[in-house]
């Protein structure tokens, strides 16, 4: 049976209300329940880990008689596993729903399979409706799910000869105002902004995302990594979000904890030591190199040791885009993934 315009309209509504849910360790999902005549009976969305999923949230607003023969419109394939909540696929079966339309397949090894379960129970299941919009909604969650950790962007600014600072340590400002504005815009897109204690002690950064003197509506949570204490009057303590401090050099543990907190996108803005540590650990999914047309010389390199002892070990990148920013140039690059041996 073809998807009707009423059902497509309901999917657009489901995608809209899905955004009411929080970004976090679970995806944002919306659901709309339609009567056999195409009348909207109920809506629901997922409100965070441990709460009812969108389908169950919508079903909970209806009597069992109302759900018999209904159609469920969902932005993600109803799950097929029992965690802190039960399987949504079974909840729809038990509710007597006879048709389910969803946008995206569930990528989880344990949670997928809901569509097959519902079809086996005699439900008419249609997938892929407005999948592009649904993918855009949960793109960050999908990336974090695939990686098993937050997505990491490592950023630095450098002179044309690869220096991050002059010989006396001064670095403000290597790049111009257009480049700095671009950095703040990208900060606002992240869930967390990460620096080392060395940067906090040397520069006392606020770690906010700003448009001129105005704070962006969305602010990343500040994260400070390192064993040296942060002064109580440091600017980071005045951030809109309470900072997270990690007295650790184990980036895998830090990333695991951030992921458990629902962080999906990490923006690393520490100095050369921290940037190099993330790259050496294999935690640089995107590199942003802001290149200024100045020469500084000296030994204040933008990166330090990243574990490359010979040219054959070079960490090769593929530049996705070159972006002119006033007099500066931004290189947006990602690691080159080597094909499996023998492929």
If you write DSSP's letter for every residue of 166-189 in order, what string do you get? -TTS--TTSS-HHHHHHHHHHHHH
Q: 102 with 7: CB under 8 angstroms?
A: no
CA angle 149, 113, 66 (to 5 degrees): 115
Strands 317-325 and 328-335: antiparallel
The Cβ of residue 213 has, within 10 Å, a number of other Cβ atoms equal to 5
According to DSSP, residue 163 is labeled B
The answer to whether 134 touches 104, Cβ cutoff 8 Å, is: yes
Q: Which residue, 62, 58, 53, is CA-closest to 72?
A: 58
Measured from the Cβ of residue 64, the count of other Cβ atoms closer than 10 Å reads: 10
The residues assigned a catalytic role are 55
CA–CA dist 62, 50 (Å, integer): 21
Listed in sequence order, the DSSP H helices in the chain are: 5-18, 54-59, 64-67, 88-94, 114-120, 131-137, 139-147, 177-189, 197-203, 251-260, 272-280
User: Residue 28: CA atoms inside 13 Å, Cβ hemisphere, count?
Assistant: 20
Contact status, residue 266 vs residue 150, Cβ threshold 8 Å: yes
């Amino acid at each position: 049976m073809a998807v009707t315009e009423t059902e497509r309209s309901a999917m657009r509504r489901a995608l809209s209300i899905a955004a009411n849910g929080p970004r976090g360790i679970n995806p944002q999902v919306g659901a709309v329940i339609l009567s056999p005549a195409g009348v909207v009976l109920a809506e629901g969305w997922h409100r965070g880990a441990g709460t009812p999923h969108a389908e169950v949230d919508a079903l909970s607003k209806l009597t069992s008689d109302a759900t018999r023969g209904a159609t469920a419109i969902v932005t993600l394939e109803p799950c097929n596993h029992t965690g802190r909540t039960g399987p949504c696929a079974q909840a729809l079966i038990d509710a007597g729903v006879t048709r389910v339309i969803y946008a995206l397949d569930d990528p989880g090894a344990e949670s997928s399979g809901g569509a097959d379960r519902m079809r086996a129970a005699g439900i008419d299941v249609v997938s892929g409706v407005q999948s592009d919009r649904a993918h855009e909604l949960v793109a960050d969650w999908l990336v974090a799910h695939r990686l098993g950790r937050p997505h990491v962007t490592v950023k630095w600014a450098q002179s044309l000869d690869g220096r991050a600072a002059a010989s006396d340590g001064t670095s403000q400002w290597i790049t111009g105002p257009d480049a700095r504005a671009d950095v703040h815009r990208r900060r606002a897109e992240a869930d967390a902004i990460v620096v080392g204690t060395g940067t906090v002690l040397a520069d006392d950064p606020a770690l906010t995302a700003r448009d001129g003197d105005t704070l962006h509506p969305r602010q990343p949570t500040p994260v400070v990594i390192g064993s040296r204490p942060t002064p109580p009057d440091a600017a980071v303590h005045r951030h809109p979000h309470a900072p997270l401090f990690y007295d650790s050099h184990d980036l895998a543990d830090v990333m695991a904890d951030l992921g458990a907190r629902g962080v999906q996108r990490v923006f690393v803005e520490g100095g050369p030591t921290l940037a190099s540590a993330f790259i050496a650990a294999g935690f640089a999914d995107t590199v942003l190199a802001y290149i200024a047309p100045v020469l500084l010389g000296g030994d204040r390199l933008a990166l330090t040791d990243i574990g490359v002892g010979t040219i054959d070990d070079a960490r090769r990148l593929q530049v996705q885009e070159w972006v002119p920013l006033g007099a500066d140039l931004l290189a947006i690059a990602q690691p080159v993934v080597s094909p499996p041996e023998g492929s």
